[in-house]
Amino acid sequence: MNGQNHRLATISTLSVPPHLFLLCAPLFWAGNFVVGRALRGDIPPVSLNFWRWVIALAILLPLNYRQLRQHRALLRTEWKIVVALGLTGVTAFNTFAYQALSETTAINALLFLSIVPVLMALGSRLVFNDVITGRHLIGILISLPGAAILIAHGDLRNLMHLQFNGGDLWMVGAVLAWTAFSVLLKRTPAELPKATLLTAAILVGLGALMPIYAWRLALEAQIVFTASSVAGMLYVGLFASVLAFYFWSKGIAQVGPSRAGMYMHIMPLAGTFLSVTLLGEEIAPFHLVGAALVFTGIAITNWQSPGTGMAAPPVATPSATTTANSSSATAA
C-alpha cells in the first residue's frame, strides 16, 4: 500500500455510514458559497479562489506526488483534457462564482447552480451526441424558464430589456463553466486515479490563475486578514475542496453513483438555509417559483419508473458517473 492509500485508509477503517459521507460533501460545498458571500468585503474574488486552491494543493500534492510521477505518461497523453478540466473547474468556475457572490445573494447563486444537471444533458448531447429522451426534453423545457425567472428576479421584463444583476450574469458564466467541466469528465480515462486527476487539474488551474491574480493585485484592495477571513480561506481550501472530494468519493464507492447523485440536491437546500440563518438573507417569491420549476425539471429528467427510484444525471454512463461525481469537488 502506498503512502496515499495508507493515509486514506485510516479514515476508511472507521465505522462511518456512507450516507454520512454523502451528506457532508454537499454541505461543505454549500458552505463554500456562504463563505464566499460573507467574505466579499475582506477577500477579493480572485484572491479567494487563488488561495483556496493553494491550500488544497498544499494538502493534496504530498499525498499524490508519487501517483503523479507514476501516471505522468498518461497525463501527458491526456494533457488536453487535464488542461480543459483545470481551466473550467479551477480557474473559471470558482472565479466566476466568487465574483457573482460579491454582487448577488448566496441563495440566488446556489439556485442557479441547481440547473447544472439539466444543462449537462444538453452539453452531453452536443459534445458526445448522447440521446436526449422525451422525458429529458420535458425536464429541460420546464427547468429553463425557472432559470430565466431567477435571472430576471421574477420580472421577465428585465429579460426583454436586457436588465440584469451583474452577479447573476457572473453566475451564469459559472454554471456554464461547471457544465463544461462536468461534461468533459466523461472523457477522462478510467485508469487515472481520481485524486491524481484532481491534483493535476489544480496545478493547471493555478498556473492559469497566477497571472490573473497578479493583475488583480495591482488593481484592487488586498486581503483584509482577520480571524474570519483566515478561517474562511482554510474552510474553502480544506473542507470545500479536499474533504468534500474525499467524502464524495468514499460515499460513491459504497452506495454507487446512481444513489449518490441525488445527494447533490442537498447543496442548494442546505445553502439556502445557511444563507438565511447565518447571512440574514431573505427568500423572495421568485426564488420559490424559479426553484420549483428547476427541481421539477430535474425530477422529471432523472425519474426512471415507479419502484426504481431516481437515476443518475442523464449525462453519464456508470463508469463516467463515478468519475464525474467523485471529482465534482474541483468545481464546487
pLDDT digits (tens, 9 = 90+) for 42-67: 999 999 999 999 999 999 999 999 99
Helix spans in the chain (H): 3-12, 18-38, 45-70, 72-77, 79-85, 93-101, 106-113, 116-128, 134-151, 157-160, 166-184, 194-219, 227-234, 244-255, 257-261, 266-279, 285-302, 318-326
Sorted by sequence, the CB contacts under 8 Å of residue 194 that are 6+ apart come out as 249, 323, 326, 327
Domain coordinates in residue numbering, the chain: 18-330
Cell of residue 271, nine digits: 445553502
Q: What is the pLDDT of residue 215?
A: 93
**Side chain identity at residue 168, one-letter code:** D
Q: Please check the confidence at residue 14 and state whether its pLDDT lies above 60.
A: no
Interval 135-162 mean pLDDT:
72
Least confident of 21-25, 53-57, 75-79, 255-259: 255-259
Instruction: Give yes or no for a contact between 228 and 86, defined as CB atoms under 8 angstroms apart.
Output: no
Percent of all residues in the chain with a pLDDT value above 90, rounded to a whole number: 35
Q: What is the pLDDT of residue 70?
A: 95
Q: Please check the confidence at residue 73 and state whether its pLDDT lies above 70.
A: yes
- What is the residue whose three cell numbers read 436526449? 132
Q: Please check the confidence at residue 159 and state whether its pLDDT lies above 70.
A: no
Give this prediction's pTM: 0.78
Q: What is the pLDDT of residue 314?
A: 33
- φ, ψ of residue 131 to 5 degrees: the values are -75, 135
Q: What is the pLDDT of residue 308?
A: 43
Q: What is the pLDDT of residue 221?
A: 73
Interval 141-152 mean pLDDT:
75
pLDDT digit string, tens, across residues 204-243: 999 999 999 999 988 877 888 999 999 999 999 999 999 9
Q: What is the pLDDT of residue 168?
A: 82
